[in-house]
Amino acid sequence: MRNIWTIAKREYDNYFNSPLAYAVAFAIMLMLGIYFSLILYATSDQAMSGGGAPETTPLNWLFVFLMIFLSPALTMRLISDEARMGTLELMLTAPVRDFELVAGKWLGSLMFILSIALLTLIYPIVINNFVEPGIDWMVILSSYLGLILVCSTLLALGTGISAVFTNQFAAFFVTLGLFFFLWFMISLPANILPQGGEVFNYLSLSDHFSQSMNNGTVNLGDIVYYVSLTALGLFVGSTAVEIRRWR
């Protein structure tokens, strides 16, 4: 476990040397900032005519949606670049298990995303000060739990794919393609098939978040879904690293 932490810490620090990571953080914060002001405008108009209070959970939905496109950029080089630069040889001859290497890389990227997510807490705090009697923090909590779980899943799958490739751009496009498929396309058969289509709904990355946790509903099934996919990503990653040894 300590090795995972050591590797995660190095990877986390490394993001702050990387212009790409700043670009991702900038893109997320810019989009969220614009969206937030739009929400404020819209709800302030409604509030005049007796409408509801502004909500910030759509911001978390946007955060997660942006992660589909941006997270492959954060994970693409995690292991592929080490293989290309030869530094993988250092890691594979250090007393570190293959799984610890992959999990450390994943945790580092998750910590980076969580740092950005921490910054977005400013939005609910601002709104909480505007409305009486304050906002429902349990919904916010559930929404952030969902956000963490989705990000964890995306980053684990990305890390796993990065271990398969030596070229970071190959890793990027395969990861992006997979996320597109899991987010937009996998639930399509649910509408076509006469029965049994719910399975495909269950497999979709988006529904467990946007239909449930982001609205304040925490189901064990949703958590299991994301945790299993995270485990799958890390398993693929460590298997790919092990296969590299045998080649």
Site residues for other proteins per CB under 8 A: 2-3, 6-7, 10, 14, 17, 85-90, 92-97, 245-247
Q: Buried b / exposed e across 181-200, counting CB within 10 Å, b at 16+? A: ebbeebbeebeeeeeeeeeb
Question: Which residue from 231, 220, 204, 183 is spatially nearest to 71, judged by alpha carbons?
Answer: 183
- Residue 240: CB minimum distance to other proteins, A: 15
Q: Which is nearer to other proteins, 234 or 241 (CB)?
A: 241
- Residue 237: CB minimum distance to other proteins, A: 18
Q: Which is nearer to other proteins, 6 or 44 (CB)?
A: 6
Q: Buried b / exposed e across 206-223, counting CB within 10 Å, b at 16+? A: bbbbbebbbeeeeeeebe
Q: First and final CA of the chain: distance in angstroms?
A: 27
From residue 109, how far is each of 118, 156, 163, 179 by CA, in Å? 14, 9, 14, 17
- Residue 24: CB minimum distance to other proteins, A: 17
- Residue 175: CB minimum distance to other proteins, A: 22
CA dist 67 and 64 (Å) reads 5
Q: Which is nearer to other proteins, 94 or 121 (CB)?
A: 94
- Residue 210: CB minimum distance to other proteins, A: 37
Q: Compute the half-sphere exposure of residue 199: CA atoms within 13 Å on the CB side of its CA.
A: 6
- Residue 107: CB minimum distance to other proteins, A: 15
Q: Which is nearer to other proteins, 14 or 128 (CB)?
A: 14
- Two structure tokens written together for 139: 């919904």
Q: Which is nearer to other proteins, 10 or 228 (CB)?
A: 10
Q: What length is written for the chain?
A: 247
Q: Which is nearer to other proteins, 97 or 228 (CB)?
A: 97
Q: Which is nearer to other proteins, 13 or 198 (CB)?
A: 13
- 33, 34, 35, 39: CA torsion to nearest 10: 100
- Residue 118: CB minimum distance to other proteins, A: 24
CB of 172 within 8 A of CB of 162?
Answer: no
